Structure 1
Amino acid sequence: MLEQAADALDRQDYDTAAKLIAILSAERPDDLLVRLYAAKLQAATDRLDDALQGYRLVLQQAVNPKLVAEARSGIERIDLLQAQNRADELEIARSGIEERSEPGFLVLEPMSADQKQATFKQFATIMNLDPYSARLQLPSRGWRLYRVGQMGRLAFLRDRLLKAGIPCFCVSQHDTQQVFVFQVNHLQSFHPQAEIVCTDDRSELRTLKFDWSEVTQIVTGMLPIFEEVVEIDGRNRTRRKAKILDYVSIYDLQLRDRRTIFRLCAQTYDFCDYKQSITQKRHPLMSEPRNRSGANLGGVLNGDRIPVTSRDNWKNVISQISEQISEQISEHQTQSSFTPFAETAIGYPELLHRIDPHLELLRRADSMWDRAFHLYSTLAMCRDRDATRL
């Protein structure tokens, strides 16, 4: 039967060879000659990595000089073939690299522990890293801004990573700049359409309407508020240090077909419209004063006014929006892992300095986190738009 398998390989009858070698492998699992022919079949059917592993196993265990020579010859042929394939890929990619010279971003997507274990060696080869560094650089919590450079080179790397089973995407800087962003002052109406009072790029106040069905994605994030504080160390010496004192919630409504983002910010949202004030839970001793429109103005318990905080009002606004979009927005259409992305993005300060955050927060100093959130949101918009084209 082994001679028949060898003859089938010579005739390039790979189906017959595969059947015969499968039978032989089951009957004689430790036969190195069978393993050698299995590696030859894998090499002939373009399974080069499996063939390379098979040849190396034969080379490690074989004593027969003929088997050793054939295994070495097979390894050499695969090395030459892989080198030629890489050269061909680079040659093909060069034209694309030269044509696509505009700047762009390469983003790695999060992976499970099993995915990282299965792909980190290939990632190390593609990125010319040692295996330990490669394992650390593959993200598990959220997106990682991995490379900034020419789109041609990034697209070439993206294709190789995807082929290796590593989830990623790349977006040109030009595409992220083709998104219209409006800072929401407040929602004037929820039914039957959303009516939003907002400011545009020129800080002009506008009123816009859209159907809730147009919302295709939600992007959320928490922006840290840094303040300079005075600390006293163990030697009773004072020193100034920047610390995070609070966080501000950001909520982006994305309308893919309009290439538009409506950005809500908990710090700047105007809650003057009492329709959006939180409705207190009814208490037997609580009265509920209302305005002319019938909206709740806050509860009164035993004659004392119950305070309604901005945090409560913000939660109520987000809850009302969620009710409107719950039918068409799934968990996969909500991007909420901003923090791990920002931790990598702030490593590119020169890039972030050129980004308009489209936010006007009350803080002493500008923050890279605001700019990183705008980049995160526009990348999500472009990735979502590209995914619908496939």
Structure 2
Amino acid sequence: MLEQVAAAFEQKDYKTATKLLKQLLKATPDDPMVKLYVAKIQELSGKWEDAEKIYRQLLRNTTNNKILSQARQGLQRIQEITEAERRRAISQATSDENANEPGVLVLEAISNELKTEAAQKFAKIMQIEPYNARLLLPSRGWRLYRTGAIGELKFYAEQLQQNEIPCFCSTLTAIQQIQVFKVKYLQEFNQETDSQITLVCTNQSEQLGSLTFAPSEVKARVQGLLPIFEEVVNLSNRLKVDRKTKTQDYTQFCDLHLPKRKCILRFHDSSYQFKQGIDFVATANSNTLRINWNNLTHWLNQQLPQVKIWSDFTPFAETILDQNEMLSHIQPHTHLFRREASNWDPAFHLYSGLVFTKNCD
């Protein structure tokens, strides 16, 4: 019957070949030649994943050189077809006039139980080794995986999401368009008038003003520690000057997101005027910055109990600090005095901005 199948293939009578193969699969399901013809039928039907699976099984389990050669050729054809399909899809995805805007693709956390299967899918979509794919998938927080044209990034994001790999992408423009208000102090809180909160702040042009909002408008809260560096000078025994940059301290930031107003309210421990406005000091002896900041965050916890707190900034930042080109396009809005610019500052605004844009989608 295999001769009949071969004859049907020569005549391109795939309907007859399929009928014959169904009979052969019942009679001799483990015959490598039968499997090879089944893979060819799957390939011709456009079922490339099924065909690829059979071809790979034959490569692992067969010693017949003729079958091995045809299986390799089949895999090569499938790879060429899928690569052409991928390029065509990317070309279509980047044809929009805004598709070339710079953007980022972010991977979200995935549980360890799902990582093995997810890594295989991730590797196939992104054309990388499965071992490397597993290392790239985060178990906690986010990982910025790729930068580039937003059209292409959206194409990959859709492929990953269809394979249950959580991710999202955003343009840098969307983050830059978010207004950032630097909070000077909380001026007023009136529980009798729908718990309205009024604060004094400056806009991005350093103009002083006030803003009143309801706690229900706050949809996210982002917290982060930014390192403060100092230059340490050591003198060796040979009187050689050795200069090193070390972390001297950390400064704390807290962002409140008001998506309907398209703005972020940014609190900073060193610039907040604790002696002004609302008195939320718990003790008389609260002169240290840390105690004052803790009192402020405790007050925010009480007023915004339902708001999710995003606090995985540090592990996110540590994976992108070498992205000089991308980070150079992000205005940090942190207003920190530094002797030299630090990528930690735009990294925090990027993290907060990504939280903002993701929650707005």
After TM superposition, is the score higher than 0.5? yes
Does residue 98 of structure 1 match 2:77? no
Report the CA distance shift for 1:161/1:103 in structure 2 as closer, same or farther (over 3 A).
same
Give the TM-score normalised by structure 1: 0.73
Alignment of 1:57-96 (within 5 A): 57=57, 60-61=60-61, 69=67, 80-81=77-78, 83-96=80-93
Alignment of 1:337-376 (within 5 A): 337-376=312-351
Cα distance, 1:117 vs structure 2: 2.3
Alignment of 1:124-273 (within 5 A): 124-191=123-190, 192-231=195-234, 238-273=241-276
8 Å contact 1:108–1:167 — kept in the other structure? yes
Which deviates more, 234-243 or 175-184? 234-243
Helix, strand or coil at the partner of 1:312: helix
2:296 pairs with one of 304, 313, 317: 317
Alignment of 1:321-336 (within 5 A): 321-327=300-306, 329=307, 333-336=308-311
Amino acid of the structure 1 residue aligned with 2:344: W
8 Å contact 2:52–2:78 — kept in the other structure? no
Unaligned runs of 5+ in 2: 1-14
Q: Structure 2 CA distance, aligned partners of 1:64 and 1:136?
A: 37
Q: Structure 2 CA distance, aligned partners of 1:258 and 1:131?
A: 43
Which deviates more, 107-116 or 352-361? 107-116
8 Å contact 1:103–1:148 — kept in the other structure? yes
Report the CA distance shift for 1:278/1:379 in structure 2 as closer, same or farther (over 3 A).
same
Helix, strand or coil at the partner of 2:186: strand
Deviation string 1:351-375 (CA, Å, 9 cap, x unpaired) is: 3233221122244433221111111
Report the CA distance shift for 1:234/1:116 in structure 2 as closer, same or farther (over 3 A).
farther
Report the CA distance shift for 1:259/1:170 in structure 2 as closer, same or farther (over 3 A).
same
Cα distance, 1:183 vs structure 2: 0.5
Q: Structure 2 CA distance, aligned partners of 1:175 and 1:213?
A: 23
8 Å contact 1:349–1:368 — kept in the other structure? yes
Q: Structure 2 CA distance, aligned partners of 1:345 and 1:168?
A: 17
Q: Structure 1 CA distance, aligned partners of 2:106 and 2:63?
A: 48
Helix, strand or coil at the partner of 1:263: strand
Q: Structure 2 CA distance, aligned partners of 1:47 and 1:233?
A: 69
Q: Structure 2 CA distance, aligned partners of 1:102 and 1:55?
A: 40
Alpha-carbon RMSD = 3.5
Cα distance, 1:379 vs structure 2: 1.4
Cα distance, 1:108 vs structure 2: 2.0
Which deviates more, 223-232 or 344-353? 344-353
2:30 pairs with one of 18, 26, 32: 32
8 Å contact 1:32–1:58 — kept in the other structure? no
Cα distance, 1:35 vs structure 2: 12
8 Å contact 1:220–1:249 — kept in the other structure? yes
Q: Structure 2 CA distance, aligned partners of 1:169 and 1:94?
A: 20
Give the TM-score normalised by structure 2: 0.79
Percent identical across equivalent pairs? 36
Cα distance, 1:78 vs structure 2: 6.6
For these two proteins, the number of residue pairs brought into alignment is 336
Does residue 308 of structure 1 match 2:307? no
Report the CA distance shift for 1:59/1:373 in structure 2 as closer, same or farther (over 3 A).
closer
